[in-house]
A = this chain, B = another copy of it.
Amino acid sequence: MTITADQFIAGTRTAAGRNPFNARDAASGEPLAPAFAEATPQEVDRACRAAADAADTLAAAALEQRAPLLESIASGLDERADAFVERAGAETGLPDARIRGELARTTGQLRLFAGVVREGAFLGVRIEHGDFDLRQRNIPLGPVAVFGASNFPLAFSVCGGDTASALAAGCPVVVKAHPAHPGTSALAAEAVEAAVAEHRLPGGVFSMLQGAEHALGAALVQHPAIQAVGFTGSQRGGLALQRLAAERHRPIPVYAEMGSVNPLFILPEALVQRGGDIASGLAGSVAMGCGQFCTKPGVVFLRRDAGFEAFRDQLAGAIAAIPPAVMLHEGILSAYESGCARLDAADGVSRLATGEAADGRARAMAFITDLEHLRQQPELADEVFGPAVLIVAVDAATPFTTVAAELDGQLTAGIHASDAELSGHAALIHQLEQRAGRVLFNGFPTGVQVGEAMVHGGPYPATTDSRSTSVGTRAMERFLRPVAVQDMPAAALPPALRDDNPLGLPRRVDGIEQPGTRQ
């Protein structure tokens, strides 16, 4: 397996930069070859200009060309499966099965978007005959900057959800690879580059820049050619990019998915009936991927009542049995350890259980406190990225709806309840819908289904735009805007807007939905 250390710029490779950096083996901390150069401002500029130059061609590309592009990328990724297992495994410490699973999710996602492109409903064609002849459709925003996330080296990285949805919408993409997995990123970039060439699209449809310094990301977001930003990562990172985007001469939207504590509420009957099972499931969800998911359940609210001790003891046992695990990189491990140390030192918080230990690896941890202490120290509910969970006992006098109303915006929120008690908690469900993008029942949030009904988003500070999702087919909407043409002569109409509907698109004509004939 050869790893390309160069920048991928519009179908060409360059390596003008200095300040070389290496990925490190997540388990050993040893540097991995090759050394990657930091992309220079000139390389950023070239990639962005090439994206701008390619934008019209990609926007005009027939849906029959754009969909196969996504499928070819998926095939190219599949062909590199073994290389991903080796390289991504080394760079992230994630086990083989996880890498293969994540690869399947990533390729499935690309193929899902290919289907959406083929169907054509995303164009949102509307025709209306009034005083004027008005025809509306959605058009791509233009070049999108995508920031790879550290915790999903494939599914939220070089050709993850942001890139797939942007290309599906018809937007060229300039990726800033995450510096913790530059080799994995280079392998993925090869697949995209080859697919772009195979479908005879301009190279500027895709570029990828390597770099470990903040200046690179800033230059990308500030480049005038860039029209939108997709980001998955820390709140600090996301808000910094949003600030830069807002300060531009022409501000652009930033879709930053910044994580969450994903609160769970366990109602009394469920606690009595299956507190032990919930505790085991919770420990499994907390430990999954070493807790390095933005959907990891971080805070759990329940009554100190019947079933509490059983739940607590079961959870303590399950957490204590979690084997130590390699985290994505040293910085994440040390942030995790200081997050846990903050909880240890906080007033009114006790350590309930600690997972097994090993040098340089993360230990799972469970903490316990009560609502009064949480209210006095709201920072206890800040995300601790890693396998830690905080149990919060809520006294009988405080309704869960009150607790939910005090929560910040979340990607997910969950309820464990018996069917009987759920009917009495409509207000709690409603409150959680106000606070989160996804509300789940009798389950755990770490499984994210990639389809057309998923919402991976939520109110601030979970994301910078609650109206969007970064997973699922509606992710494309982030990169589209409506445009109307008025009294356009029939001969000039683009095929999507013609009366005879040569593309067979689903559309609305004078208020009547007409199904498409494409699938």
Residues of A with Cβ closer than 8 Å to B? Answer: 56, 60, 115, 121, 126-128, 130-132, 134-136, 139, 141-142, 246, 250-251, 253, 408-409, 419, 422-423, 426, 429-430, 433-434, 436-443, 447, 449, 451-455, 457, 459-461, 464-467, 469, 474, 477, 480-489, 491-492, 506, 508, 511, 513, 515
Contact = CB atoms under 8 A, between A and B. Distances in A.
Given A132-B443, A441-B486, A443-B487, 8 more contacts: A56-B430, A246-B246, A250-B461, A438-B483, A441-B488, A452-B508, A466-B481, A467-B480
B250 A441 contact: no
A130 B136 CA distance: 33
A482 B469 CA distance: 8
Given A426-B492, A449-B132, A513 B508 contact: no
A449 B485 CA distance: 12
A409 B423 CA distance: 51
A250 B128 contact: no
Contacts of A134: 449, 451, 453-454
A408 to B, nearest CB: 8
Number of copies: 2
Contacts of A439: 483-486, 488
Contacts of A438: 483-486
Contacts of A467: 141, 253, 477, 480-482
A136 B439 CA distance: 10
A131 B440 CA distance: 13
A462 to B, nearest CB: 11
Nearest to A126: B453
Given A141-B466, A460-B250, A491-B423, A484 B455 contact: yes
B483 A437 contact: yes
A325 to B, nearest CB: 24
A405 to B, nearest CB: 11
A487 B441 contact: yes
Contact of A130 (B253, B429, B449): B449
B513 A452 contact: no
B251 A423 contact: no
Contacts of A454: 128, 134, 136, 484
B409 A250 contact: yes
Nearest 10 interchain pairs by C-beta = A128-B453, A440-B486, A134-B453, A455-B484, A136-B453, A126-B453, A467-B481, A438-B484, A466-B481, A422-B492
Contacts of A465: 253
Given A482-B457, A492-B429, A515-B513, A440 B487 contact: yes
